[in-house]
Structure 1
Amino acid sequence: MIPHINERTHTPHDPLSEALGRPVSPDDGLTEYTVVAHWPGLDSYTLDDEQKIWTSAQWAEHLEDPLLEHPFAASPNDDRRAIFHLDIRLHPDDRVLTGPEWAEAAHRLARAAGIEVPGDENGCRWIAAQAQPGRLDLIANLIRLDGEWHAPPADAHRQLAEESRRIEQDLRLIPAPTARRLPAVPTASTQLGALLAQLADEQSGPLATVRGLVEHTAHRIARQPGTAGAGTAHRLELIAGRLHAIQHDLDGAAAHLSDLSRPRVAAAPPAAHRAAHRSP
């Protein structure tokens, strides 16, 4: 079960058309098998002798009414896009849910999204449509009956995901695939440490290559006849020694940077020493 919050719209016609898989029409009739759940106040809002089956156009008008009744209601950012649309997809191999199961899932997700607040008589109008296999669409108007703007919780995505996991367990559905864990991004300390380790590497590092060339040159000059070459060879040997010392220092710095990049584990508090009990 994967919930997805769509971008808000000005009217409910497009979200409802997407939910039904066809355009909104004044000639159809959506029964309780399609509109599987709705806001609790609808039962007291309609008259007893009013027709029970509404067309999709009538449902769209019902959801749009708060926008017309409260023309100045808007979000804190002065946004009039009040139509909230949440679609939920089941796993392709999930079983077919019954009407009551779809209704239960709709009410639970509406509460998780903050659209339905138990005990709030002036809440938002919303309906849940189940018109396509393995799919549920929850459409709501964020303008409450009292004209106030309802802002969904900032962590609505997290709450919907957690509630979806609970619904999967309760209804024995196939769990949604978990997000693939991405490899950890190396820290700057790790990257710099690796660079220093490459420079100091005795087998393939550039300093080892330079030191080897200097040592080889020193040995060849030392074999030349005369005393002038001996001084030059000695100086080259000193240079090779300094290069070796630099390699050693770089290797130590690389090890230090590697230690800094490792997560620190808090030391366990020392265990309290129990006083030895001596029998009299």
Structure 2
Amino acid sequence: MIPKLHGRAISSAHGLAESLGRPVSNQEGLTTEGTVIAYWSLLDYYTDLSRIWTSVEWAQHLDDPNWQHPFAASPQGDRRTILHLSVRLHPDDRELTPAEWAEVGHRLARVTGISPPGDEQACRWIAIRDQSHRLDLLANLIREDGNWAAMPAQVLHVLAAECRRIEADLGLLSPRDHHAVGPFQQHTPAVAQTTGDMLDSGRVAHMSDEANRHLAAARRLVEKAAQQLGTRPSNAPGLAHQLEWIARRAHALESDLAEITPRRPHTAAGGPAARLPVSLPSARASRTR
């Protein structure tokens, strides 16, 4: 199960359209018995069993706290209130039942801090289940009491850890399972050494070298951006940390390329694939201030 944190927005219409795979509409009804698989605890005060809201009305419902609390903002002054995250199952995973999808939605809402257990002033959120092997969660970060939701500083790390627990609890495949074909791998036949139409090891190494070169260049740019952000107190420390984390993921991919490619010349000690990403003390220090 792979989590993705989408960019925050001031309106939920775009995120809802992305979750559905089509634009929101006044003609399409979404119900809590179908597409809206899970939702915040106070939704029943706003709707009833006989009411079918259109996708436009669902978006308006999520946006309402923006009008009720027009001056609410994050501790960094950010007024982009709509959180959008999604999780995607491994292609070889079994199909989950509606109840299992609902459990996933509630667990993601809890760990992100938008729906603490027993909190009647929590955020408005809904979980959308309308695309195969995927669940989307949309939430307004303005709580019912007008305060901004307290999310974890490393929310993507928290989401990834919860996905590992969900995989274990529901018997799903994990990207860490090297014996399973993960979302970062394709079903490919073994390379036959004597087959002329298959890629030889030299061409594989060359292609891997090219991929590694571009990946290393991108990683260096991300590291530089993280360092610059970390030295500026006015910037959100969470962004610098996220960039640092992305750089470390890029380094991990470089290492993976080194492991799977036969006889790569630059994987010796001290080569590009052997170096660790640069330390970013300024980004880490900014999180402690």
Aligning the two structures, in what range does the TM-score lie when normalised by the shorter sequence?
0.5 to 0.7
Alpha-carbon displacement from aligned partner over 1:35-69 (angstroms, at most 9, x marks no partner):
000001112x2255x74321111110000000011
Shift of 1:71: 0.8
Contact 1:114 1:156 in 2 (8 A): no
* Aligned-residue CA RMSD (Å): 2.0
Contact 1:29 1:53 in 2 (8 A): yes
Match of 1:157 in 2: 156
**After TM superposition, which residue ranges in structure 1, 4 or more long, deviate above 6 angstroms?**
none
Where in structure 1 are there 5+ consecutive unaligned residues?
184-189, 192-280
1: distance between equivalents of 2:129 and 2:40?
15
What fraction of aligned residue pairs are identical, expressed as a percent? 56
2: distance between equivalents of 1:119 and 1:175?
31
Match of 1:96 in 2: 95
Q: Does 1:24 align with 2:24?
A: yes
Match of 1:13 in 2: 13
**TM-score, scaled to structure 2:** 0.60
Match of 1:36 in 2: 37
Alpha-carbon displacement from aligned partner over 1:115-167 (angstroms, at most 9, x marks no partner):
11011111100000011000100000000111111131102112211110111
Q: Say if 1:78 and 1:102 are closer, same or farther in 2 by CA, change over 3 A.
A: same
Contact 1:127 1:138 in 2 (8 A): yes
The alignment of Structure 1 onto Structure 2 pairs a total of residues equal to 184
Match of 1:122 in 2: 121
Match of 2:144 in 1: 145
Amino acid at match of 2:108: L
1: distance between equivalents of 2:96 and 2:143?
31
Amino acid at match of 2:64: D
Contact 1:75 1:151 in 2 (8 A): no
**TM-score, scaled to structure 1:** 0.62
Contact 1:4 1:87 in 2 (8 A): yes
| Paired residues for 1:47-196 under 5 Å | 48=48, 51-177=50-176, 180=252, 183=255
1: distance between equivalents of 2:133 and 2:36?
15
Amino acid at match of 1:83: I
Amino acid at match of 1:155: Q
SS in 2 for 1:127: strand
SS in 1 for 2:156: helix
Amino acid at match of 1:35: V
SS in 1 for 2:29: coil
